[in-house]
């Protein structure tokens, strides 16, 4: 985690010095589509940060560097990793890939007959 943090931090700083874009230093480093609020990398990071920061078993260096990486991405790319946050005018819900599916059954197949 520490290595990823420093690689991104140095890359973002170098990019902002070269292009003079202090507000969005990652513009030339990353493709425009990666900077949008709705992309795969942001969703994966959000899930990872949620798992690590909410887990009672994680502490020490992993927790510290995960928090620092989260802050770096929020400040540099403008990403918001809060649960159910509104980003760019869209309300982003939790991914419902693993949500239960409810199927409605017809009552004609399961008609109870009165017992006598």
What is the DSSP secondary-structure string of 73-112?
Answer: HHHHH----STT-EETTEE-PPP-TTS----PPPTTTTPP
Give 59 or 88, the one with higher predicted confidence: 59
| Number of other residues whose CB lies within 10 A of the CB of residue 70 | 19
Residue 5: helix, strand or coil by DSSP? helix
Per the structure, the complete domain to which residue 16 belongs is given by 2-82
Total domains in the chain come to 1
CA distance linking residue 54 with residue 43, whole number of Å = 16
Q: Is residue 67 part of a domain?
A: yes
Q: Is residue 88 part of a domain?
A: no
> pLDDT tens digits for 49-59?
999 988 888 88
Q: Is residue 110 part of a domain?
A: no
| Dihedral pair phi/psi, residue 100, rounded to 5° | -70, 150
Mean of per-residue pLDDT scores for the chain: 74
CA torsion sign, 67 to 68 to 70 to 74?
positive
Q: Is residue 8 part of a domain?
A: yes
pTM attached to this predicted model: 0.59
How high is the pLDDT of residue 56? Answer: 86
Mean pLDDT of 58-71: 92
Q: Is residue 58 part of a domain?
A: yes
Q: Is residue 32 part of a domain?
A: yes
| Number of other residues whose CB lies within 10 A of the CB of residue 60 | 7
Q: Is residue 48 part of a domain?
A: yes
């Amino acid at each position: 985690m520490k290595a990823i943090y420093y690689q991104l931090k140095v890359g973002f700083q170098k990019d902002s010095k070269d292009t003079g874009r202090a507000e969005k230093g990652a513009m030339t480093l990353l493709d425009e589509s990666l900077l949008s609020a709705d992309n795969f990398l942001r969703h994966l990071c959000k899930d990872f940060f949620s798992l690590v920061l909410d887990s009672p078993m994680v502490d020490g260096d992993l927790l510290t560097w995960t928090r620092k990486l989260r802050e770096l991405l929020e400040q540099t790319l403008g990403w918001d990793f809060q649960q159910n946050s509104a980003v760019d005018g869209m309300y982003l819900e939790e991914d419902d890939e693993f949500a239960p599916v409810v199927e409605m059954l017809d009552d004609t197949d399961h008609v109870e007959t009165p017992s006598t």
